[in-house]
Structure 1
């Protein structure tokens, strides 16, 4: 699906004109880009989060010549999918993960947990 198809789907589902839905999609994308560019994050619960990822400078190797090169630091956008999005894309993996969590042994209540319970009381 590309942006034009997304605009058409939004227009059809919400009885909007294509121009209106196009402006909504563009506003959404512009807001995400502006927020991430400023160093903030955009979190859409169940879907995922967009944030700025800083990659440190590092040394690399030119594969053609074998010469060592310096790779500059970079700021990149990063998208991390939410659990509901992951589960919708691959329900079997989500079921395996849930089963693995259910089979994990329960932690014993130690001194830190007892102290926290006393503070609450």
Structure 2
């Protein structure tokens, strides 16, 4: 069998982009730094992605984020600071999102300004 016969790729259209062209992308930023939150809010203001505006929600702690996540099921992306209340608060929130809430679809981007602290907590 030749290599080219191993896989067959079908044309794929991302139907999620076409389903709700009038809806927005909901992004949740979880960070205890108010200056970062303000900067992100300013940066994303007026930004459109694939013809849809971005709606930014913010939370200053993992606990606050968990509440927002349960109340807002259509969040597409979480920008998540790892080190907040303690060195692993963000990592525990990932567990809450995946295991407790059962949300495997949401995209989670881990951020930290203190990578050594996060690594020590989950080394």
With structure 1 as the length reference, what TM-score do the two structures score? 0.24
Look at both structures and tell me which one has the larger radius of gyration over its CA atoms: 1
- Select the structure with the greater relative contact order (CA < 8 A; seq sep ≥ 6): 2
Q: Structure 1 or 2: larger helix share? A: 1
